[in-house]
Amino acid sequence: MFNQNHLSNIAARREQISRIVVTAQQMRDIEGRIFAAGMPVAALMEKVAGLITHRILELYPRSQAPCVGILVGPGHNGGDALVVARELHFQGYQIAVCSPFSKLKDLTSQHAQYVKNLKIPVHESLEPLAECDLFIDGLFGFGLGRSLFSPVDQIVNQLNEWSQPVVSIDLPSGLHTDTGEVLGTAVQATQTFCLGLWKLGLLQDQALDYVGAAELIDFDIPLADIQAILETPKIQRITPESAIATLPLQRSPVTHKYKQGHLLLICGSRRYTGGAILTGLGARASGVGMLSIAVPESIKPLLSAQLPEALIVGCPETESGAIAQLQLPEKTDLSSFEAIACGPGLTVDAKPIVQEVLDSDRPLVLDADGLNILVQLDTIPSLQHRQAPTVLTPHAGEFKRLFPDTPDPTKDRITAVLAAAEQSSAVVLLKGARTAIAQADCVWINPESTPALARGGSGDVLTGLLGGLIAQATSKDLPLPEIVATAAWWHSQAGILAADERTEMGVDAFTLTQYLMFVVNRFSDFNS
């Protein structure tokens, strides 16, 4: 029993650690506590380097990469790299070191001297390492704040021109720890071993061309030291465990459709029928109990054919084919629904419709033309006075129009989405390769996605899925931001799964809807 409980506690800690994201200053403060408590820097370096070496042995066995080049910086990141060099040498690898710095920190200098005593060749330039099969980048760790300088920038550029795989320690040298900005130039890594806790820059879109496949090297930071600095983590990665835990999967044996949420979609136009269909298919996959879809009367038959289980509400339309006014069934109004999702395919001619749902007391998701109309109405400040939560789901272009006074989301999406959430009092989901969701001063980041989702209609599917989950969550008292985070994770995992089976080019939005339920089946063991 003791062993089982102990193993459960270890697994729970690792799951908690895997969610936490830190800035450079927070990581300095946490490490400062560890060292102040008596952990020798040298002992921690040995432990970290041992874990890195173990992963390299697994990923790049000596039979595949017999010669390894080690790039060494002046600080402790360089020290980590030198310990890895030593350990790989003892495992029979042929090692060569590139160390372009004349002055090293004391501990790093000691390791450099020992490497030389082991007769491992050390060079100031990269050229003598050209025949290496693998490179370990230990030039700079977290906290780099200035552009790479000569000759380091030339070494990095030369490394990037070669085709050998590169493993970066903590983060690719040349990336800003917090924003992911390229500081002049940066190593284009094949793998990044992030040390201890996830660094914020690795989860910024602009860093992704440099990070490669990222994984966390957990070196057992005590939770008490993390909590002393972060208290409640304000930036978190979405994990499969956290996403599945939030899904409303458990149902009473005696439940019925009206207890599983009723969602109203308001979408589509004569010009953009597909947007309404895809949004409806996304909502269907959410498992929502009842689905009503308000569309222009002329496209009602097309929706009925694709979604026979939904109640399709045909509405009067404008000359351009947009919804002119909502015409809900008798004895039904907007308060009859647990949630409303509005926007895909709507066109900006449906401006009165968006104003009507903004005035309602229902949780509301606005996407696509719903956001475009919101810009025209210039009502972002009024969202603070809505009687129910609002979720906005812009891509970067829509975000800039909605929130012109916030930081550029293409340069620092975390700061930008936090500012947008503060301005609007809404839950803001900023789409991207690393979708970020913010409410108040908290951010959730989706750490995985696929370029396969860069297809027209993918966002419509997300809107329907999200609306359906919110409708179910309303009756189950589940926290809204976490439901939004779960929807983003579920959507991206469906894209990843579909791309694995069909290639990235083969994942159209309709195909994406078919893979949504496979995701829940694949990860259902996390909920058992």
| Residue 146 counted as an annotated binding residue | yes
| Residue 378 counted as an annotated binding residue | no
| Residue 201 counted as an annotated binding residue | no
DSSP type of residue 206: G
| Residue 270 counted as an annotated binding residue | no
| Residue 125 counted as an annotated binding residue | no
| Residue 289 counted as an annotated binding residue | no
| Residue 77 counted as an annotated binding residue | yes
| Residue 145 counted as an annotated binding residue | yes
Question: Which residue, chain included where needed, has tokens 């009473």?
Answer: 252
CB atoms within 10 A of CB 465: 29
| Residue 92 counted as an annotated binding residue | no
| Residue 185 counted as an annotated binding residue | no
| Residue 431 counted as an annotated binding residue | yes
Cα 132 to its chain centre, rounded Å, is 34
| Residue 459 counted as an annotated binding residue | yes
Cα 413 to its chain centre, rounded Å, is 11
| Residue 173 counted as an annotated binding residue | yes
Its sign, for the CA torsion 447, 450, 451, 454, is: negative
| Residue 397 counted as an annotated binding residue | no
CB atoms within 10 A of CB 479: 11
DSSP type of residue 139: S
Task: Round to whole Å and give the CA distance between 241 and 293.
Answer: 32
| Residue 81 counted as an annotated binding residue | no
Per-residue HEC secondary structure of 285-306 comes to HCCCCEEEEEEEHHHHHHHHHH
Its sign, for the CA torsion 409, 414, 415, 418, is: positive
Specify whether the CB–CB gap between 312 and 303 falls below 8 A: yes
| Residue 170 counted as an annotated binding residue | yes
| Residue 126 counted as an annotated binding residue | no
Task: Round to whole Å and give the CA distance between 112 and 185.
Answer: 26
Task: Round to whole Å and give the CA distance between 332 and 16.
Answer: 44
Specify whether the CB–CB gap between 498 and 452 falls below 8 A: yes
| Residue 144 counted as an annotated binding residue | yes
Of 360, 334, 344, which is closest to residue 393 (Cα–Cα)? 344
Binding residues for (6S)-NADPHX: 76-80, 141-147, 170, 345, 395, 460
Would you list which residues are annotated within the binding site?
A: 76-80, 137, 141-147, 170, 173, 345, 395, 431-435, 459-460
Annotation: binding site for K(+) = 77, 137, 173
Question: Which residue ranges are tagged as binding site for AMP?
Answer: 431-435, 459
